[in-house]
Chains A and B, each alone.
Chain A
């Protein structure tokens, strides 16, 4: 279980609070106006921002003592998910062993992961030789390899077209199913939130609200979500 225990995050004058929990394997879309603090929340869980007060716990363990790399977390950023000077296979390999001393089994694991995301045979390419969709797939393949129990997605598909995005969400669901990961996905698009399934945590006015079942929320949205969605 992921617990946000009376959490307060501060960046300059900006303040964000959250106090809720989610069980392992949940799918949670994080939505809210620009600048509301969606990425801030993900940064704190991933270990890039130290909470001002409160705690973040996973399975009862406080994450504060763990560095970003030690946390049970994989994060996909808006961009820069791949190192441009390394091949796709090396980029994936880093997810298995940061020193890239890969055993034969590790290497075949990388090949399998590439195959699973539809990038079979592209392991020796550099990121610059991939399309935007292929780069996203490669990053997801690494998430698959790392198989961490929390998967954070900070709008990694924002730059992709609708059809490609649908494909990617499908892939996220498959990765999450296989790794049984709890997914926190930042998005602006209600369709994406619905496609992910599960629940939705709305961020506004400095508060991350507790996740509520997405379908139910959209069928009877409270006023602030209505305002965000632009519905009268």
Chain B
């Protein structure tokens, strides 16, 4: 590297610092309003349960995703594209909608128990730690599958051809090609899921079955809402951030770059072994398709009858939500790409932290802290939508970053020097190298970010003004007013819009990469 400072090397740390400030300043603002930080045994029990269920959920989601991703990578079948796209859907469901969808299958009067009872078998209960884990796997397995599939498809054809010419069987292919690839991608995938599940609130509480299923986020909720004990809330949020940081550090230490080198981008199918491996792939695909499609179908069926009676306020709220989502997505994409490209050059611990900690932050503390910070300068209500955008950027950036990073690394390793030697910098580098080479992960990542930004309830409730309700808020208002059918219909609209945004970006990225 020439010694002259490159502008990008300054931007990324500045951006990372800004993001960290966005996460930490509200925490400090909340802590400062309280007298100090104190945690009792009940809080530590909540910490233990949160970590336990998050680790189970992350490990299970990640490992179950491996066979599914492999089957999708090496099999070609009608409906493959639909299944891959469908993988985006569960992740985007609002927690309450997802829970009701799952209950239609696994609940006391769900399809599964109806079947078991018909066969004369005892019914199963979904409530408890296992139910929480099932719900988290339902929500996150598809995300994990997509992230791993992305890596599978990025193994260069040359390496696969070499493996085939050396007569590698499935076992050797796994050892020399797939395992190094997994070593690179799995820690990041597990980290993201662990941190999401750490802060999960409604899912854990609803399916947890009782007060032993208490998470940190619930303890924070209680501290803020019922006791107005801000110092305890800040302390708990700090613990949550610390756990997130430790997990991020562990994932960072466990990640080892696969270093496959570049390929010429020729199309080459992975070999698709027959025998029991074929049966296994079919089993994995059918299993995951059913596991995802049944609850999603239930969401659809619940929503359809109410479509006729949705109130007029749903439309402007939907428009507002889409506007917020698109604005958030653009900003998050610019920020995530900047950080990922900088991290691809050399490891930035600051960028890693900035791209992980927002996930581990408590939505309630973030919202409360921002409220406290903004209130002296402006009526928080007047800033509701800009604050929503800001929070969405911070919360969706980690996904984008994780999705972009492996491919940004490969891009840098394979073409960084060639591009440098051709003085390919700035916009031309973005236009002619980065955007085309990263089109696939960019499409997927922006899709995820856009859909995530459609749902924003947790943080923004404090800021909501009279005429600024977003779609998730309307859904929650409807469910709070007995209007179950209309709420299910509005939720269906929310999910459909989220999914449409996701699909548009994702398919756009795949088309651009083809």
Contact = CB atoms under 8 A, between A and B. Distances in A.
Interface string A106-142: 0000000000000000000011100000000000000
B420 A47 contact: yes
A65 B432 contact: no
Given A48-B417, A64-B3, A90-B432, A69 B422 contact: yes
B422 A94 contact: yes
Contact of B2 (A64, A85, A100): A64
Contacts of A77: 417-418
A70 B422 CA distance: 8
B390 interface: no
B266 interface: yes
B226 interface: no
A169 interface: no
A90 B263 CA distance: 18
B4 A100 contact: no
Contacts of A65: 2-4
B421 A75 contact: yes
A158 to B, nearest CB: 15
A50 B3 contact: yes
A98 B265 contact: no
Contacts of B428: 98-100
B420 A67 contact: yes
Nearest to A66: B2
A94 B2 contact: no
Interface string A79-99: 111011110001000110011
B424 A80 contact: no
A41 interface: no
Contacts of B427: 99
B178 interface: no
A48 B436 CA distance: 24
Contact of B422 (A66, A79, A84, A95): A95
A3 interface: no
A68 B4 contact: no
A99 B427 CA distance: 8
A73 interface: yes
Interface string B378-389: 000000000000
A137 to B, nearest CB: 15
A217 B268 CA distance: 48
Contact of A84 (B3, B265, B425, B431): B265
A191 B259 CA distance: 33
Given A64-B2, A68-B2, A126-B265, A85 B436 contact: yes
B433 interface: yes
B5 to A, nearest CB: 11
A67 B423 contact: yes
Interface centre among A79, A98, A127, by most chain B C-beta atoms within 10 angstroms, is: A98
B262 A70 contact: no
A98 B423 contact: yes
B2 A84 contact: no
B429 to A, nearest CB: 7
A83 B418 contact: yes
Contacts of A75: 417, 421
A74 interface: yes
Nearest to A97: B428
B174 interface: no
B437 interface: yes
A98 B418 contact: no
Contacts of A90: 432
A73 B414 CA distance: 20
Nearest to A46: B421
Contacts of B432: 83, 86, 90, 94, 98-100
B421 A80 contact: no
Nearest to B1: A50
Contacts of A94: 422, 424, 432
Contacts of B429: 98
A205 B199 CA distance: 57
Contact of B424 (A50, A66, A85, A98): A98
Contact of B414 (A66, A68, A80, A128): A80
B420 A85 contact: no
Given A86-B432, A99-B428, A69 B263 contact: no
B44 to A, nearest CB: 45
Contacts of B35: none
A163 B269 CA distance: 33
Interface in A44-76: 46-50, 64-70, 73-75
Interface in B27-42: none
Nearest to B2: A67
Nearest to A93: B432
B264 A70 contact: no
A80 to B, nearest CB: 5
Contact of A80 (B1, B415, B436): B415
B436 A68 contact: no
B420 A80 contact: no
28 contacts: A47-B420, A48-B420, A49-B1, A50-B2, A67-B2, A67-B4, A67-B423, A69-B420, A69-B423, A69-B424, A70-B2, A74-B421, A77-B418, A79-B262, A80-B418, A83-B418, A83-B432, A83-B433, A98-B424, A98-B425, A98-B428, A98-B429, A98-B432, A99-B431, A100-B431, A126-B265, A127-B264, A128-B264
Interface of A: 46-50, 64-70, 73-75, 77, 79-81, 83-86, 90, 94-95, 98-100, 126-128
10 closest Cβ contacts across the A-B interface?
Answer: A69-B423, A84-B265, A68-B420, A99-B428, A98-B428, A67-B2, A128-B264, A128-B266, A85-B436, A98-B424
